[in-house]
Structure 1
Amino acid sequence: MKRAVVDISKRDGAVDFDAFLLLIGKLNYSWTNTESLLIHLIAGLSDMDKEIATVVFLTLNTTRARIDMVERLSKLDRVDKVERERVLELTGRIQRQSALRNRYNHCIYAFDNEGENPRSILMRIADRKDKLMMGQVNDLDAAAAEAVKAAIAELRSINRDIWKTVSDFNYPD
């Protein structure tokens, strides 16, 4: 199956906001699809069937909690070192993609007076030692689109590698 290429550039070099939103949609789909594969890792590492692992997965209501569960299960003494290292490598790769995903899922979008030059404004407070930081602004430009495309490609790769791990260690599929 040939994957559609999303071009976010208009003729004048400006960003096509609708095309950028399509990229964000692809990122969300790729993220959700890949995160759901943690069910198989939970099942395999804990010796439970997929139905029970699904209940555990759905009960843990954040990505961080789900990754923590998988990582903690992999660190049990009964888990072989090779298996543990493979699982931790996968969860680390997922975690590294979360910052970009969070940037575009916890933001508002702003434009200039003409409705052009889109940018994202992060809707999160960073509580530092002696100050608050909020409203980090990122331009929605070609570089931002390339970062999203790279994240989608990496999530696709992680997805394949999780399925290989499920197969290699005979986890429920």
Structure 2
Amino acid sequence: MAAMSDVLLRVGRLNYVWTNTESLLIYIIAHLLKIQKDAAIVVFLTLNTTRARIDLVERLAKLHSTPAADRKAVLHAMSRMKKESKMRNKYNHCIYSFDDKGQISGTQLMRFVEDDKEISYGKVEQLDEKEIAALEKSIAEIVSISQSLWSFINASSHVSGEL
């Protein structure tokens, strides 16, 4: 079991680093489409889900006109983002279970699991030391992804002049 303030602090950090990292896709979109940042912002904001934004960036990276080195760097970063989006989605789309002292004891995912005969929802997981460590690891990985995206952006001559 974890103290509520510790969990909420980590979930807040997770959201903060995720949002900052996802916003870097604006510069990646500008680079891949060879457009100005303001046009890339319009594209970014028009796509209203993380998944749609990542899909767009991956598809643009796979175009024949994208240099191989850019393709490799962008696809690697998007693969890492997709992996970490699972942790972000978990903590943004769950409800919390509490113990008798009011401390968070677990999470319950708000997602259906269906087969031919029945429906269930809400995979329950304990919020123990191991899960807290996984949350911290995910935050660190998202920060690392952000750093790699900044390195790519700074190396890109098209976008770097607009930072």
TM over 0.5: yes
C-alpha distance in 2 between matches for 1:126 and 1:40: 37
With over 3 angstroms needed to count, the CA separation of the structure-2 counterparts of 1:171 and 1:139, relative to structure 1, is: farther
Decide which moves more: 137-146 or 45-54: 137-146
Report the counterpart of residue 115 of structure 1 in structure 2: 102
With over 3 angstroms needed to count, the CA separation of the structure-2 counterparts of 1:40 and 1:120, relative to structure 1, is: same
Does 2:37 align with 1:50? yes
* Structure 2 residue matching 1:48: 3-state secondary structure: coil
User: 1:122, 1:134 within 8 Å by CA — same for their partners in 2?
Assistant: yes
Using structure 1 for the length normalisation, give the TM-score: 0.86
C-alpha distance in 1 between matches for 2:155 and 2:109: 40
Report the counterpart of residue 5 of structure 1 in structure 2: none
With over 3 angstroms needed to count, the CA separation of the structure-2 counterparts of 1:118 and 1:45, relative to structure 1, is: same
Decide which moves more: 60-69 or 132-141: 132-141
C-alpha distance in 2 between matches for 1:32 and 1:62: 12
Report the counterpart of residue 8 of structure 1 in structure 2: none
Task: Work out which of the residue numbers 51, 71, 92 in structure 2 matches 1:105.
Answer: 92
Report the counterpart of residue 27 of structure 2 in structure 1: 40
Shift of 1:138: 1.3
Does 2:92 align with 1:142? no
Using structure 2 for the length normalisation, give the TM-score: 0.92
Does 2:74 align with 1:74? no
Shift of 1:127: 3.6
Q: Which stretches in structure 2 are left out of the alignment for 5+ residues?
A: none
User: 2:96, 2:104 within 8 Å by CA — same for their partners in 1?
Assistant: no
Higher helix share goes to which structure?
2
User: 2:26, 2:37 within 8 Å by CA — same for their partners in 1?
Assistant: yes
With over 3 angstroms needed to count, the CA separation of the structure-2 counterparts of 1:161 and 1:171, relative to structure 1, is: farther
> How many corresponding residue pairs?
160
Shift of 1:20: 1.0
